[in-house]
Chains A and B, each alone.
Chain A
Amino acid sequence: MALSAQVVSALAAIVGETGIVVSPEGRMTYECDMHTFYKGAPDVVVLPTSAEQVEAIVGVCRAHRVPIVPRGSGTGLIGGAMAPAGGVMVSMTRMNAILEIDLASRCATVQPGLINLWLTRAVAGRGWFFAPDPSSQMVSSIGGNVSTNAGGPHCLKYGITTNHVLGLEIVTGRGERLRLGGKAPDPPGYDLVGTAVGAEGTFGLVTAVTVRLLHAPEAVKTVLAAFRSVVEASQTVSAIIAAGMIPAALEMLDAAMIGAINAGTGAGYPADAGAVLLIELDGPRAEVEAQGVRAAALCREHGALSVSVARDEAERALLWKGRKEAAGAVGRLTAAYLLQDAVVPRSKLPDIMREMAAIGERQGLLIANVFHAGDGNLHPIICYDDRDPAQLARAKEANESLLRACIALGGSVTGEHGVGVDKAKNLPLQYGEADLNFMYRLRGVFDPRGLMNPGKLLPSHPACGEGFRPARPVLPEGAWV
């Protein structure tokens, strides 16, 4: 769909000639996010610098019924920031200011394009931080984090993005700019802030976010333990939780990942290890010391091959080294892979790991794992050779089997990456028709014209269509007079 010259000039009038990208080369670079499998270039990209401009852009698009796709840093993993139906992409990169830091009220207000880590950098000197820490935090934007309700290794203790969003300024699909929530908790009425976080741009464009900031903990303790198998490591995870600890992070690597990391820079994991567990505790020093000792003991009780406890910041960095290099190390395993993001109840980790091995074997594919074990959030990496179409087909099949297995164990189809175009089709695994229909109607309230990031988050399913009525309970026969 090509935009009319009228729409383009109306947009240019809002953002100026330097705020609009119309060239084919420019638009091409916006055709995908980190999930490059899904491509769809927008007809035009606009780069607003103010909330007023965003409101005006939405106004033009509404008047001409043009789809709107928001984009932050484009680091999403779900095909969220691409334009399957063309239209106008709104890049928030130029709205990246910190509007206010208010440590006395434990919060900051920022523009959506601000890079996650930059907020922590701005307050770190005073001993504070912004808790959500997706692995992309050095580049992903807070607006994008809000949009996908991003998680990260440390959300086991601190919660995911939604737990840290106090207020939003949003231009809805209805065309109006609203300020919802803010520094004061519990504004009367529906929790529209909580409802809008994770809506992936389908409710509107976020133009400012008020987030909670936390004071940095007094101490951090990192323990790394190697196990013979993922099963033993998983049992240790349960034991740690059962002992009354909520570590800040509880990360696991499986044998395939350990091999890949050892082959690279060498984090020095035991060669015969089938699993590595990284445990990070933070909080009051005495608490962290006591829990560190207890956690290390639990690792040994569960047959750990080795247990290391970091004594200082340098040693802590060393223990994290392998985990942080995991993403890069994947390149040593395979040129192409599917990255999954599913969740099982933490107690079901041994079951899903067994199931995963079986699936890998059945499809003849290597599945490597590096994941947030503490909250059961799996990130299986299904390796395949992209020169062989049959392998890609098998990888996709393995991917679907894995998701079904996670749901069968009581899990979720996405823990922190979001839905986008990639997982929309998987929602019926987790939700029934009535549930999907509820979401569809909710979307319609915020976006009556269906212009906001169309094709994302909800599947094309009868329950997500006009006129669908979910089944109602049957009333007793014969009671009627």
Chain B
Amino acid sequence: MPGGSQGEGRAGGLASAEGLAGLRACVHCGICLPQCPTYRVLGEEMDSPRGRLYLMRAVAEGRLDITDGYTRHLDLCLGCRACETACPAGVPFGRLLETARGDMERRRGRGRPGLRGLLLALFPHPDRVGALLALARLYRQVGLQRLVRARGWLARAPGLAAMDVLLDRLPAAVPVPEYLPGREPVRGRVGLLAGCVQRHLYPDVNRDTARLLSLAGWDVVTQARQGCCGALDLHAGRLGTFRRRARALTAAFPRDLDWVVTNAAGCGSAMREYGHWLPDGEAAALAGRTRDVSELLADADLPLRPLPLTVTYHDACHLAHGQRVRAEPRAMLRRIPGLRLVELADSDLCCGSAGIYNILEPEMAGRLAEMKVESIVETGATAVATGNPGCLMQIAAGLRRRGSAVEVVHPVTLLARAAGVGEP
């Protein structure tokens, strides 16, 4: 199939046999409801997984057109896939949502790009993210941010305001070597996905990941020229673009890697889905080799020093629900001597980040951040760890708003500190 927007989602929408089978698997039991972030906030059936599936099925069966209302309820979904974890009938909600958004995208056409279009033109391009961040640094350095905030100029543009808040953290670039040999005895060779956002906003996480993997006996390859994994396009229903990016990323990694490691849950989750959307060939093989960093480090042989901290852990949706990785990050943290891990209530409820969601739906995202921050503060922990850059930004912004001093870190950062390879 040709790449680009011509091919957006043509290969079988909701009304296809596969789509209908997925939709009909829903027995309307509602067990997903309390797990759904938007339902938790709104309590409305049409903004719950069961309600969204009901509407998707109505569209697939021709009872309902793709109306603005329908689009609205599907747009409000964070795509966190907590409902999939809860579902006793195995409804593939994430794929159905992406398929439905493909149908919507086709209908939306190429009319007005809007904020969403702009963001989708930005984030999947590491170079553009980098350029924007350079501008943003300027924005802060010349005092423009303070002025904008003081004058409340962004009050009428909540999406931009949300971006402005997120942009509080603008670290200096940290280089990650293209090749880092593993400590003897070497266990094998892994590729590291640098990530479009991660490499610019959390470059230290990439550096720490590479160092830890190396310490654990892995040769680490981090290509400078890797592109985007396509996650944002996939979630937006731009399936053609997504497939193109997936193929390109697959081609960027050498074929002889034992694993391809990600430290960004959203990327890892999308890569693990390659097999479904590109069933034949290399991309599917890459999907099979993709692992979250915690899966490789949970039981690795690492020399660790005590880190006397009380830490709680937030399950990034695309790690817990998307990749079913829950135990490993916790195990990784528990290995650190002196570190006390306390459980977070509703630890796997979305924080509201969800890719570019917090910029597109700042109100819902803000309420979810408040709920998350409230639970974090209740634990009494001095740090919260989570394995996704979006969550890191969102939670940090939420804690700042609340005036809390709780530190927000990637689990890798804590492990690196304990291993003496991170920055103090």
Give the docked Cα–Cα distance between A412 and B352 (Å).
48
B33 touches A25 (CB 8 A): no
A19-50 toward B: CB 8 Å interface, digit per residue (1/0)?
00101111011101110100000000101000
Task: List the one stretch of B21-29, B111-119, B248-256, B285-293 in contact with chain A.
Answer: B21-29
In B63-120, which residues have CB < 8 Å from any A CB? Answer: 64, 67, 69-70, 73, 88-90
A-B contact count (CB 8 A): 84
Give bound CA distance, A73 to B43, whole Å. Answer: 9
Q: Counting CB contacts under 8 A, is B44 at the interface?
A: yes
Question: Shortest beta-carbon distance, B59 to chain A, in Å?
Answer: 10
Inter-chain contact A26/B69, CB cutoff 8 Å? yes
* Given A25-B69, A328-B89, A328-B90, A115 and B34 contact (CB-CB distance below 8 Å): yes
In the complex, whether B127 has a CB less than 8 A from a CB of chain A is no
Asked if B24 and A24 make an inter-chain contact with CB atoms under 8 angstroms apart, the answer reads: no
Within 8 A of A (CB), among B49-66: 50-51, 54-55, 58, 64
Neighbour of A73 across the interface among B25, B30, B55, CB < 8 A: B30
Confirm or deny: B18 has a beta carbon within 8 angstroms of a beta carbon on chain A: no
How many Å from the CB of A218 to the closest CB on chain B? 25
Are A94 and B43 neighbours in the complex by a CB distance under 8 Å?
yes
Binary CB contact string for chain B from 1 to 42 against chain A (1 if under 8 A, 0 otherwise): 000000000000000000000001101111111100001000
Name the B residues within 8 Å of A26 (CB-CB).
Answer: 44-46, 69, 73
Q: Give complex CA distance A26, B50 in Å.
A: 12
On whether the beta carbons of A25 and B55 are closer than 8 Å, the reply is yes
The answer to whether B29 touches A34 (Cβ under 8 A) is: yes
Chain B neighbourhood of A24, CB < 8 A: 64, 67, 69
**Separation of A94 and B43 alpha carbons in the complex (Å):** 6
Kindly list chain B residues whose C-beta atoms are within 8 Å of the C-beta of A118: 34
Nearest opposing residue in chain A for B21, CB measure: A335
Q: Which residue of the partner chain, among B29, B32, B46, B88, contacts A25 with CB atoms under 8 Å?
A: B46
Is B27's CB under 8 angstroms from A34's CB?
yes
Cβ-based interface call for A3 (8 A): no
Q: In the assembly, what is the distance between CA of A335 and CA of B23, in Å?
A: 12
* Nearest CB on A from B171, distance (A): 39
In the complex, are the beta carbons of B30 and A91 less than 8 A apart? no
Q: B46 contacts which chain A residues (CB < 8 A)? A: 21, 23, 25-26, 28-29
Q: Give chain B's interface residue range (CB within 8 Å of chain A).
A: 20 to 34
Q: A23-B69, A327-B88 are in contact. Are A29 and B27 (CB under 8 A)?
A: no
Contacts of B34 in A (CB 8 A): 115, 118, 138-139
- Smallest CB gap from A26: residue in B: B46
State whether the Cβ of A331 lies closer than 8 Å to any Cβ in chain B.
yes
A28/B27 contact (C-beta < 8 A), A23-B69, A47-B44, A73-B33 known = no
List B residues 269-294 near A (Cβ within 8 Å): none
Interface assignment of A74: CB less than 8 Å from any CB of chain B: yes
> How far is it, in angstroms, between the C-alpha of A21 and the C-alpha of B55 when the chains are bound?
15
Cβ contact within 8 Å between A75 and B29: yes
* Residue A459 is within 8 A (CB to CB) of chain B in the complex: no
Instruction: Check A74 against B44 for contact (C-beta < 8 Å).
Output: no
Contact of B31 among A25, A93, A138 (CB under 8 A): A138
Nearest CB to that of B345 among chain A residues? A121
Interface centre among B34, B39, B45, B58 (most CB of A within 10 A): B45
Residues in A neighbouring B39, C-beta threshold 8 A: 93
Our pick among B25, B29, B45 for the contact of A136 (Cβ within 8 Å) is: B29
Please measure, in the bound complex, the distance between the C-alpha atom of A371 and the C-alpha atom of B90, giving whole angstroms.
Answer: 23
CB distance from B92 to the nearest CB of A (A): 14
Distance A24 CA – B73 CA, assembled complex (angstroms): 12
Q: Is A113 part of the binding interface, using a Cβ–Cβ cutoff of 8 Å?
A: yes
Complex contacts, A93 vs chain B, CB 8 Å? 39, 43-44
Which A-chain residue is minimally distant from B43 (CB atoms)?
A: A93
Q: Is the CB of A25 within 8 A of B44?
A: no
Q: In the complex, which residues of chain A have a beta carbon less than 8 angstroms from the beta carbon of B88?
A: 325, 327-328
Smallest CB-CB separation from A49: which chain B residue? B43
B43, A32: Cβ atoms under 8 Å?
Answer: no
A-B pairs with lowest CB-CB distance, top 6: A93-B43, A29-B51, A25-B69, A328-B88, A29-B45, A29-B46
Residues of A within 8 A of B (CB): 21, 23-26, 28-30, 32-34, 36, 45, 47, 73-75, 91, 93-94, 96, 113, 115, 118, 136, 138-140, 325, 327-328, 331, 335
Task: List, sorted by A's number, 16 A–B pairs whose CB atoms are closer than 8 Å.
Answer: A21-B44, A24-B67, A29-B45, A29-B55, A34-B30, A73-B30, A73-B33, A74-B30, A74-B45, A74-B50, A93-B43, A327-B29, A327-B88, A328-B88, A328-B90, A335-B24
Extra contacts, 16 of them, besides A45-B45, A139-B31 (Cβ < 8 A), are A21-B44, A24-B64, A24-B67, A26-B45, A26-B73, A28-B54, A32-B28, A33-B28, A34-B29, A47-B44, A74-B30, A74-B50, A91-B45, A94-B43, A139-B33, A331-B89
Please report B residues at the A interface, Cβ cutoff 8 Å. Answer: 24-25, 27-34, 39, 43-46, 48, 50-51, 54-55, 58, 64, 67, 69-70, 73, 88-90
